Structure formats: structure tokens, C-alpha cells
Structure 1
Amino acid sequence: MPQLRPGSDPAPYAAGPGLPPEAPLAMPVQDLARWDGASAHRPARPARSPWLARLWVFGGATALTAYGGWQMVQTVSVSGSPTALQLVLVVLFCLTFSWITLAFTSGLLGFATLLRRGSTPQIPGALSTRTAVLMPVYNEATARTFAGVEAMHEAVAATGLGRHFDWFILSDSTQADAWIAEERAYLDLRDRLGPEARLYYRHRPKNHHRKAGNIGDFVTRWGGHYDHMLVLDADSLMSGSAIVTLAAAMEADPDAGIIQTLPLIINRNTLFARLQQFAARIYGPVIAAGLSAWSGRDGNYWGHNAIIRTHAFASSCGLPDLPGKPPFGGHVLSHDFVEAALIRRAGWAVYMLHRLPGSYEESPPSLIDVAVRDRRWAQGNLQHARVIGASGLHPATRQHFATGIAGYLASPLWLLQLVVGILLVLQTATERPDYFGGAGFSPVFPRFDPVRALQLFGLTMAVLLAPKILGLVLALLDGRVRRACGGSGRLIMSSLVEILLSALVAPVAMVIQSGSVVSILLGRDTGWNPQRRDDGSIPLRDIVVRHRWHMVLGLVAGIAAFAIATSLFLWMSPTILGLVLAIPISWASGQLGLGLALKDRRLLGTPEEAAPPEIALRAAALTARNTALGFDADDALAALNADPILAKAHDRMLPPGQSRPRGAIDPDQTLAAAKICEAETVAEAQAWLSPKERLALLHDRALVDRLVRL
């Protein structure tokens, strides 16, 4: 692999819109059915397994689940042997309760870990390796994306180690306006930074295999130049110190394959996004520390804000297409979990530096936006059922797959448990007593033990809320965090607000996620839609269309529960209320005004909001400047027609032309050629060309030249 002597300065690649010389790395497709361990990397120093932490987490969760299951059996069998329907309820309870007990025991472990106040990694004074910083984009707003790249570039340069990093914007955009906006923003940024910045832009003609294919294309073309690659998302921000510290951590650990950070959510202002931002900041470290402690060097990868050893990734992470059609077949959708599993199978360590500061991301602004993203994640995680049995995987990585699958099956299981509970109450209210089923002559009614039921409910709530309470306790103990969040009173009040609003959102989220799982099991593919990242609301009409059946379900459930028994109605009231109010809750979730109102009262605040990181302030200033340039607001065809220099730069950035086979006609390209040749003005071309035809035109040098001459 290429190395640099400390203090040496690599010669910059050729200036201009072109890309650096290619240095391909082979990325063979991996066989999930067979694995030869003889080819695996041999660690320089054997790692100690965190068996005690795993015993605590999984043994404790198993014991708690067994206790809860026994209590449920006692609750439903007070009148004798449980019925078949009651046993179904017990099984469903054990499955859903095991999910939250695992989070509980892991949270306790994370709490104990963070109480020890470990040291944060130190910023290195020198580096000897080269790292490519990769920013994959897919129809994103360039103002913010390129502002983030520029801010991080400046921050890394300020450390004095900028010569060890090259920067790639890897575009998979499929919209003509987004593509040309990216090129304009890139050319503007490159001209300001100069060729010594080693900043490159590449647009793929076809977004084959989406983000995994995007990264794979980089590795197989330029991976040989770099020891490591730091993978970001379009909304990622990382401080200069975090970036160079990750590179130093890779240098110091020759057995590391992936080192993940814990990204904190910042810059969020809508009500729902602020809930996520607060929860991630206050409760997230507890969960992350627990996960890091029991995973050890057998950890997971979340697809961004992580550094990867390039040749290890190339040799072990070529993803195969799964047999069959989507949603369970085809290319691997949630590729990051699988890449972590395969690189670990190959003998490389995967772990998290959960104490490393300076890693940030954003989040979707509303409940509907989260649901759109979550639908894709649900399909990706359920698809892992086809991968969990792959040959040679480490048991801990199989557990990561199992946890992800269980996380999405939990919602339909909760919903099914609720339905079975209603049926049992209905049975109790309508069934005649069995005068002969008991041991004596007294009548036997199918009923519950109310005292045990109340105790079991209390246990469930305690286990469910414990990670949040532990995170709150740690925040209260940390003077800097406590003061930044407005003091103890506001911090406690913010947690109560988060718990209350999350409880209202939970029933809607449960039904949405259950619908997603059912849709996937019925064979419906999700596709891959661009994420909406800006603050802003969704039109009320769209909200009503999306949630009308949730409201109807809540009304029907409420009326039915009240008709069966008042006690059932009271027991179900939180779920009923959340569903009945689904439309106003979803509307409120995307409201900027509501989020800002809480912000003005210093509720749901975070330390990063009270004292924004320098990298965030710089990115915000650059975003404002880029927005004023109007790249995202301009039409691609008009921009090329008005700027021949841009058209020439676009021409140079296109890949070398490939002759098509005779008879292989591209309908979009053919129609684009016919229309642009007949058009006399840009306005006619804009009116006549469809989105796909516009994209085909931009890939054709002759048609772009015709456009410029209109």
C-alpha cells in the first residue's frame, strides 16, 4: 500500500475537471455459502473477547425475559390451566419483552462504562498514510453538501495534516438539475481552493447497486492510491480533529478494518427532528457505549462517519446479488451491516470510538420523512435473513443481524399482542363460566390476575424507560451538559416532554412499521428515494391521505374497547389516543414553529445547540453563501446554454464515449436527439424533454453541443 514519510507532501494530481490517475483494486464478489478461513487476515496481536460483558447483556436479558414470561403465565392462568389463546399471548409477550430487556441490560452496561469517564483519543502530531474522504451524493441540495465538504477540508487543513487527505464527491444523482448543480458547485469550489486541494468529482452514468456500488466504483478505480477511506453521508459533518484522529487510530491498529464513530444529530429545528436530536444526544451515548462494550472488536458499521482500511474492504466486501427478486433478492440494500460482517469474517477488527467527539449528522424533519427512510431500512434489515446464515461469520455479527431483524419484527409483534389481548378481554366479557372445568364445584371464569398484571406492566415500563433515565442521570451528573441544556430543571422537563411526545408517536410508528413489514413479506420492493433533509412541513392534504386509516383504526379500536369493557378502554387509551390523533401529530411533527417555540424556552436543547461546534458554524455560513449563488435553483439546460465554459467543463467530465452495439437503441437518447434537433429555443427544449430525456442529453456530447448552440 502507498505510504508517506512523515512530513512528506504527495504531488497533487493533475488540475482540471479530470479525475486522478486510476489505481484499481480488485474487489471480488464474496461467496456467502463457503468461506476458507485460511485466507483471512492474521491479527498482529490477539484480541480479548468481552465475554463478561456479553454474559451480562445476553444472560441478563434472558433471565429477565424468563422472569417476565413466568409472571405472564401466572397472570393469565389464575383460573386454571391457560387456554391456547392465553399461551399465544405469553409467547408474544416473551418475544417483545426480550427485545426491550436486551436494550435494558446493554444500557446498564453503557451507563457503567460512561461512569468511568474514560479518556478521549488524542489528536496526532503526524501521519504516514493517505486517506480518501468520500462524500456520496444522490440528488442532494448542493448548497449544503459542498459547504460541508469545504468546511471539513478547511478544518483538516488547519490541523497541518491536510496533505494526507484527498477529497472525492461521488455523485449518483439521477436528476439533470441536481447533476449540473453539483458540477457548478464543484468547479466553483475547486477554483477557490486551487488544484493543491486534491478535490475531485465523479458522476456515475448508472447508479448500479446504489451507495454500495458507488463506493465500490471508487475502490475498483482509485482505491490503490489510498490506505484508508473515510466514508460520509451527504448530511455528514466531522471536525478536523475527528478526521485526523480516525486516520491515526487506523495507523496505530494494523488489525483494524473499520472504525466507527458515534454521530450526534445537529442543526434540527422542527418538532420531530428536535425530539430525535435530544434523544440521540442524551440517551444515545448510553446505548452506544453498551453496544461498544459488548461488541468489542466484533462491532457493526452504520454506513457513514467511519474510516475503512481500503485493501481489506476491497478483498472482502464485494457484495453478491442475492438469489431471487426484491425485496428479499437482488442487491443488498442495507449494505453496511453486511460489509461489517464480511470484513470481520476476513479477520479484521470492527469497533467504535464512542468517546471521539466531532462527528455529526442530521435527521429527517417529520414523521412521514422518517417513515419513508424507515421503509427502506426495514427491507434492508429483513433482507439480512438471507445473510445471517452465511458461512464463516462471527457469532457477534450474527447477533447484529438478528438484532436488526428483531427491531423491525417487534412492531407487528406488539400489534399482534395487542389484538390477542383484546380478544382475551372480549372472551372474558362474553364467555359463559365453565362449571365443570375446575377442581371443585365452583364456576371457573377465564380471567386475569389484576395485581400481577399491574406489576408486570410496571416492570415493562421500567425496563422500557431505563435507558432514557440512565442517559438523563449521566447528563445531570455532567456539569457542562447540564448547564448547556438549561440546568437540571429544564433538562428533566425536556426528558418528560420527549417521553410524552414519543409515547404519542409510538402507536402511529408501530402501525406504519407493521405495514412496512407486511408489505415486504408480500413481496413489494421499496426502491430508493432521495431523503428530504430540510426543515419544513408537508402539505396537510398529504398528511391526511397518509394517516386517515390510522385515525380510523384508532376510532374503531376505541369504540370496540369501550363496548367490551371500560377497563380495556382505559388500558388501551395511550394507543387509541395516538392513533386517533395521528393526523395532528404528524402535522405537528414537521412544524418549524413548534420546534422553535420549544427552542426559545430552552426545551429539548443540547450542548451542541447551546454552543455550536465550529465546524457546524462554518458549514452554515458556507451554505448561506452557496445558496446565494443559486446553483440549486437553476435549470440544467438553461445553465449549460448560458455558460459555454460550463458546457466545456461538463464535456470534459463525461466518461470516454462508448460506441453502442448496432441495433441497440436507447429510447430516451433517441427522443432527446430528435427533440433537441427540432427545438429552436431553450424554452422549447425545456418544455419538450422529459426528465429521463434530459439526463440522456447530458450524457451525449453532441447533444450538449447542440443545446449550447440554441
Structure 2
Amino acid sequence: MDSMSVERSAEATPFGASYTIRPAMPPESTLAMPVQSLRRYDTAQRRVPARSSSTTVLPRLWVFGGALLLTLYGIEEMYRVVNVGGVTLLKWILLILFTANFSWIALAFTSAIAGFVWLMVRAPKAPELPARLSARTAVVMPIYNEDTARVFGALQAMIEDVQATGLGDAFDYFFLSDTTDPDAWVAEERAFLAMRDRVGDGVNVFYRHRSKNSSRKAGNIADFVTRWGGAYDHMLVLDADSLMTAHSMVSLAAAMEADPDAGIIQTLPLIINRNTLFARLQQFAARIYGPVIASGLSLWMGRDGNYWGHNAIIRTAAFAAHCGLPDLKGKPPFGGHILSHDFVEAAMIRRAGYAVYMLPTLGGSFEESPPSLIDVGTRDRRWCQGNLQHIRVMFASGFHLASRQHFATGIMGYVSSPLWMMQLLVGIVLVLQAAYIRPEYFTQEFTLFPAWPRFDAQRALNLFGVTMAVLLAPKLFGLLLALFDGVTRRACGGAIRLVISALVEVVMSALFAPIMMLIQSGSVMQIVFGRDTGWNPQRRDDGSIPFADIVRRHRSHVVLGLVSLVAGLAISPSLVAWMSPTIAGLLLAILLSWASGQLFIGLGLRRLGLLQTPEEKLPPPIAVRANTLARELSRSGFDGADGLAALHADPRLREAHDAYLPDGKPRPRGQIEVDHALAAVKLGEARTAEEAAQWLKRKERMALIADRALLDVFARLPQKVEEAPEAQTRAA
């Protein structure tokens, strides 16, 4: 979609807006974005930053040194637990698995302590807005088969908020569409035309639809950078569910201007607008515990931070010069284009000498979350594959040690599930062996008797308590901060409701944890055995999943829970008590998954004042405005409408759509696109637009509306005609 179209006035359209057909995109301003090597990097080309990152020495010494000492303590205690009567092979396996898992939570624990202390003592206040901005920032929102009411309403609310600051001239706004659904594509264009009319000529809002969505979101952003990025000093990258206040957006732009070393500055997005049970649990956890975790990360990361793909500002020229992603050799899931591109882009721009850091207390940065357990599992499957791909990336030449740690953290986030499951299974086997099976093996030291698998029960109980304390401490720190903060405490319903909400979240998380453990373990195994994930649009709206689908997804989890219960009772009632949270979560998997997506449960808890957040009690004005706009836009009827019918019925819309199509390259002789050819044949035989629409499949519809000639043929067809006499004869 190029800036080739001339300006044409249009009268009121059937969908209630008048508009001017202006170029959908500004003139191109290209930037080279060379593909970077993962094998070789010349450190001589790395820029020398003006600022030092020495302030991270003490936080890193505390976080990693403390985690190491805590892990060593855990290893010693676990060794003493299993060393009663000698350490057998299975006990060694149990010790190794425990070490891997305990070290992971120990690192999170020490990082959370650092974040808690920092927020209590030294947390900075939100910055004042600058008087002016000298640099240009492109606000880019990639979209992929989304409901237009939500995404266009959110961006319009952001535009209005920025314009109210008087600094709107520093920002341009871009919808970058990778949509593959023809009805959604037309809906986007209708919403875009209406939005331009609503915001007026004083705001630059643009729209581009990419005909081939290669490399997914990373390719979408790269296409923008290489074609239009040269006109902008910075780009502020959003997701389709992002919402940011003007204060947050302008503060990011000002921070980037003030820090020439900065390559990426990341915010901490909080979850809002969620109403189902599962989404409200996530919303509460992110709001109460998230700041502690994010602040701890920010402390030890310093200027060697990470990027999570959205609600962050990026130095455009540096990104173009150093973040061209290579395709990994081989086939997916470990080969092909890089899925979790954001981690890699952060590592590459840091490798070049630019800083990557987070502003965890800036505020005004929001997102939404999937509405149910199954939706989270679907999203996690894609993230899992992307993070496991990093096994092939984390040792790339020139990467900073902190960047490698970020990769390791992301990988461990998914590998930990099968490790926990293996630790659980090994523990069960050892208990079973002690109860029923005569040992068939001897230790390496000569002995006349086999090594019976015995344990120090009291020490094991103490270690279990320590493990639970380390695991739950970050949540406790977040709760304490919320209780100490009067505004947050009152907005969450008061101290009693806040504590009850935290208890509800902990109990529900414990029940959901074994289900997620199995889901993530299954994802890891699928990827290990070569199964690629698709790229389906994320379900963002509140709502439930058909019960039959829930049963089909979780029946194996329930069966495993039943087997665990029966086996545990046969072995030892104490084993069942020890495993009760895991067994209960699996036995209730279908019920829990169903409940997770139910609005009435989430809204019922809200009426009781539970799982309430400050942003829910006192909604940010921008969220209120975005929701109002979304409701207004939904009444326009763009979403769910037949795109072909809309184009056929409205010559003005068709004129705009035609103007927005790019000038395609001539098709090479002999190379036939099947969908295009089938669409042409069906159009040639159709006597009405209605008949053609019935015949055309989804990809054929896409081919039709992407081709000016085919669209012109379709537009000339009458909408309906009376059935021809010969057709009536054939029917008789």
C-alpha cells in the first residue's frame, strides 16, 4: 500500500462516516536492515556507550550470589534427606532434578527481595512531561485478524490523550496489518477511514496491509522499518491489546531523546479490562506481585536488559542497523524464522553497544490477557517453541552475558515444567520402591546388603517448607507493598479483602499449576519431536469455550489424577497428603478449565470486592475512553460483516480500497497462483455477486480483493437477479 493515490473527496458512506481518500501511507523513507550473523561478530564495530553500567555490580552480586548460596544450602539439605542408608541411582537423579528446580526459584526469590527493598526505599517518582519533543516517533500497532472495534478504539484513545498534551506533532500512528481474513481486512479499512474522519486532518494516522505476512510479527515490523523507518528517530511498538497513556508515551520519547545510548526502553504493562475468573487472577497477580518482580529484574539487569515485544520504545536507526534477524537453518520447530524475536532483538542491539533497560515504575502502560486456561495454553505453545529456539541462539558471538541469562531464563520458564514433573515421578517411584519392591541394585561401595531407599522424613519436611517459602515469598512481598500503600490498599477493597484476594490467588494458582505443568510439558515434548506450531490469532475477548472442547483437552489430565490418587492410596496415605494439591488440580482439571473462562464467576468475585485492582476500582481515564470508543465502533457493524458485500455495495469504500492496494509486480509467465486463478474462473461463471460470494473460499476471496482487475469484475456483477428460465427448467 503506497502513497500513490491522489486525494479524492467522498460523500457520506453507508457506514456513517464521511472521509477523504488520502494516501494510506506516507512517502517511503527507507532504511537498510542487513541480516545479522549469529556466528561472527566484530567487536571493533561496537559503539562505546557514554554511560557506565557499573551500578548493577552490587545488585547482581546479591541476586546471583544469594541465589547460589541458597541453592547450595538446598543441595546440602536434600543430600542429607536422601543419604539415609546410602545414595542410590534414583536418589542421585532426584537430587539433580531438585537442584535444577530449586536454583530456578532461588534466583526469583533473591531478585524479588532486591525489588521489594528498592520499592520500599528508593523507587523513583513518575517524571514530569517535557515542554517539547524534538525527535519524531512512530507509534506502530501490528494487527492480525483482530476485532477492529477494540484496536482502533484503543489507538484513538491514545491519540486523543497525546494530542491533549500539546506534543502530538511529535507522533505519527501506524496500523500494520498482517490480516489473512478478507472480512477482517475490509473491516480494518472501513474502521481506518472512519477513524481518520474522527481524529481530523491534524493527526497523521496510516494503515498498511501486507499481502504476504512472512516472518510474522518480526517481519511486519521489519517491513515498516525498511520502508518508512528512515523518517522516524524512534518507534513505539504496541500489541493489538496494548493501551498506553500520553504520560507514558511522551515520557518514553523524552527518555530516549535524553539518552543517546538507549536502544530499547521497556515499560511494565499491567493487565486491565479482564472479567473471567482466570483473567482476573492474572490481572490481580500482575498488579500486586508484578512490580516487585519487575523492579528486581530491572535492578540487576541495569542497562543490559530485555525486551518483551510491545509497550516499548526503540531507536529506529539502531534497530535497523543491528537487528536484522536471520532464519535458523533447518525446519521448524527449531529452524526457520525466529518466533520469540524480541529477546534476540534486545541481545543484538545490546551487542552493538546500545543500552536496553526498563522503567518499572513509569506506569500508564497496559495490556490484556487471554480469558481462559485453554487460551493461555494455546499462546504458551507458541511462546514455548520460540523460547526453545533460543537454545540455538543464546551462544551467538558477541552477546552480552546478561543477554545469555535472559535466554536461559526464557528457556527454563518452559523446561522447568517437565523437570518438576520428572522430580515428582522419581519421588513417587522411590516411595513405591521403599514400600513394595525389593532392591535389585547395590551402591558402588562393597557391601553385603543392598541400599534400601530410605529418607530423613523430618529434614524432608523442613526442606519442603523452605521450598514453599522461597516459592511464595515474591507474592508475599507484593502483598506487603500493597498493604503499606494506602491508595492501593483502599482501591483493592481494604486490607482484609486484599489478604483474602491474595489467598484466593495462591490457592487457585496451586490448583492450576499441575495442569499448566502438564500442558507445558506436552508442548516441550511436541517441540522436541519436531511438531511445529501454527500462527492463530489470539482470542482476547471474555467468553467461554464449548464444554466438549474442554473435556477433550483435559480428559487425560483427569485420568492421570485418578491414577495418581489410586496409586498413592495403595502406597501410602501420607503420599496422597503430600501430593494433594497436584492430585486435586488434575482431578478437577475439566471443572477448573471450564470455570476459568466463565464471566459470572469473575464478576461474582468482583461484586464481593475480591481480586480487585486499583485500575479496576478507579479505571484510568484512557481505559474508560478506549472502552467507550470500542462500544461506539462495534455499533458500526464493521466486525463480522461480509467484506465482499461491503465492497460491492459501497463504491466509495471500493474506491478507497482500490487506492490503497500496492502496485503489484507483473506475474511471471507460467507461474499461476491457484487461488487467484480459481477466483477468476468462478467470477467468470457467476451471474450475480451473491452467487460469486457463495462460491469463493476464504483464500480466493483474499485473492479477489487483492487484485484490482478481479475486484472490478466483481463490482460489475449485479447483486441479485431473478432465476433464469433455463435454470428453473433444469431444477424441474
Give the TM-score normalised by structure 2: 0.93
Distance in 1 between residues matched to 2:690 and 2:187, nearest whole Å? 19
Change (3 A) 1:701 1:433: closer
CA contact (8 A) 1:675 1:688 kept: yes
Distance in 2 between residues matched to 1:104 and 1:191, nearest whole Å? 51
The answer to which of 528-537 and 187-196 deviates more is 187-196
Which one of the candidate residues 688, 703, 708 is aligned to 2:710?
Answer: 703
Residue 250 of structure 2 is aligned to residue 220 of structure 1: no
Letter of the 2:38 counterpart: L
1:352-379 CA distance string (max 9 Å, x none): 0111010000000000000000000000
Distance in 1 between residues matched to 2:529 and 2:78, nearest whole Å? 32
Which one of the candidate residues 251, 261, 284 is aligned to 2:267?
Answer: 261
Deviation, 1:118, is 2.2
Partner of 2:377: 371
Partner of 1:242: 248
Partner of 2:334: 328
1:487-508 CA distance string (max 9 Å, x none): 0000000000000011110000
CA contact (8 A) 1:268 1:535 kept: yes
Residue 146 of structure 2 is aligned to residue 140 of structure 1: yes
Partner of 1:85: 90
Deviation, 1:439, is 11
1:321-355 CA distance string (max 9 Å, x none): 01111011100000000000000000000000111
Change (3 A) 1:326 1:439: closer
Letter of the 1:191 counterpart: D
Partner of 2:721: none
1:662-681 CA distance string (max 9 Å, x none): 00000000001111222122
Residue 505 of structure 2 is aligned to residue 513 of structure 1: no
Match of 2:579, SS state, is: helix
Residue 375 of structure 2 is aligned to residue 339 of structure 1: no
1:37-78 CA distance string (max 9 Å, x none): 222222133332511111111111111111111111110111
Partner of 2:10: none
Letter of the 2:477 counterpart: L
Partner of 1:568: 575
Displaced runs of 4 or more, over 3 A: 431-445
1:121-154 CA distance string (max 9 Å, x none): 2211111110000010000000000001100000
CA contact (8 A) 1:101 1:463 kept: yes
Distance in 2 between residues matched to 1:707 and 1:48, nearest whole Å? 65
Partner of 1:549: 556
Letter of the 2:715 counterpart: V
Partner of 1:531: 538
Partner of 1:8: none
CA contact (8 A) 1:152 1:237 kept: yes
Deviation, 1:466, is 0.2
Distance in 2 between residues matched to 1:634 and 1:517, nearest whole Å? 39
1:398-419 CA distance string (max 9 Å, x none): 0000111111100000000111
Distance in 1 between residues matched to 2:84 and 2:363, nearest whole Å? 53
Number of equivalent positions: 696
Residue 109 of structure 2 is aligned to residue 108 of structure 1: no
Distance in 2 between residues matched to 1:96 and 1:47, nearest whole Å? 30
Change (3 A) 1:55 1:676: same
Residue 26 of structure 2 is aligned to residue 20 of structure 1: yes
CA contact (8 A) 2:21 2:656 kept: no
Structure 2: gaps spanning 5 or more residues: 1-19, 718-732
Which one of the candidate residues 633, 639, 651 is aligned to 2:640?
Answer: 633
Partner of 2:481: 474
Distance in 1 between residues matched to 2:708 and 2:476, nearest whole Å? 60
Q: Percent identity?
A: 65
CA contact (8 A) 2:101 2:419 kept: yes
Distance in 1 between residues matched to 2:83 and 2:352, nearest whole Å? 51
The answer to which of 394-403 and 190-199 deviates more is 190-199
Change (3 A) 1:357 1:435: closer
Match of 1:631, SS state, is: coil
Change (3 A) 1:251 1:150: same
Distance in 2 between residues matched to 1:554 and 1:628, nearest whole Å? 46
Match of 2:338, SS state, is: coil
Letter of the 1:172 counterpart: D
Which one of the candidate residues 480, 496, 500 is aligned to 1:493?
Answer: 500
Distance in 2 between residues matched to 1:63 and 1:113, nearest whole Å? 21
Match of 1:660, SS state, is: coil
Distance in 2 between residues matched to 1:412 and 1:128, nearest whole Å? 51
1:375-429 CA distance string (max 9 Å, x none): 0000000000110010000000000001111111000000001110111011101
Partner of 1:458: 465
1:201-227 CA distance string (max 9 Å, x none): 000000010100000000000111000
Give the TM-score normalised by structure 1: 0.96
Deviation, 1:483, is 0.3
Residue 677 of structure 2 is aligned to residue 664 of structure 1: no
Letter of the 1:600 counterpart: R
Change (3 A) 1:33 1:49: farther
Q: Summarize the alignment of residues 266-277 of structure 1 with structure 2, pairs less than 5 Å apart.
A: 266-277=272-283
Match of 1:633, SS state, is: coil
Which one of the candidate residues 180, 194, 202 is aligned to 1:196?
Answer: 202
Letter of the 1:105 counterpart: T
Change (3 A) 1:562 1:705: same
CA contact (8 A) 2:79 2:95 kept: yes
Distance in 1 between residues matched to 2:322 and 2:43, nearest whole Å? 12
Distance in 2 between residues matched to 1:434 and 1:28, nearest whole Å? 61
Match of 2:273, SS state, is: coil
Partner of 1:9: none
Letter of the 2:388 counterpart: L
CA contact (8 A) 1:17 1:649 kept: no
CA contact (8 A) 1:555 1:580 kept: yes
Partner of 1:97: 102
CA contact (8 A) 1:15 1:195 kept: no
Residue 124 of structure 2 is aligned to residue 118 of structure 1: yes
Which one of the candidate residues 316, 320, 325 is aligned to 1:314?
Answer: 320
Letter of the 1:387 counterpart: V
CA contact (8 A) 1:434 1:444 kept: no
Change (3 A) 1:198 1:25: same
Deviation, 1:444, is 6.4
Partner of 2:400: 394
Over aligned residues, Cα RMSD in angstroms?
1.6
Change (3 A) 1:570 1:132: same
Letter of the 1:611 counterpart: L
Deviation, 1:633, is 2.2
CA contact (8 A) 1:121 1:245 kept: yes
Partner of 2:730: none
Change (3 A) 1:424 1:433: closer
Change (3 A) 1:441 1:690: closer
CA contact (8 A) 2:281 2:611 kept: yes
Change (3 A) 1:246 1:429: same
Match of 1:632, SS state, is: coil
Letter of the 1:498 counterpart: E
Change (3 A) 1:111 1:33: same
Distance in 1 between residues matched to 2:409 and 2:674, nearest whole Å? 45
Distance in 2 between residues matched to 1:105 and 1:649, nearest whole Å? 57
Change (3 A) 1:684 1:570: same
Which one of the candidate residues 152, 161, 170 is aligned to 1:155?
Answer: 161
Change (3 A) 1:239 1:84: same
Partner of 2:621: 614
1:221-250 CA distance string (max 9 Å, x none): 011100000000000000011111110000
Partner of 1:69: 75
Partner of 2:605: 598
CA contact (8 A) 2:88 2:451 kept: no
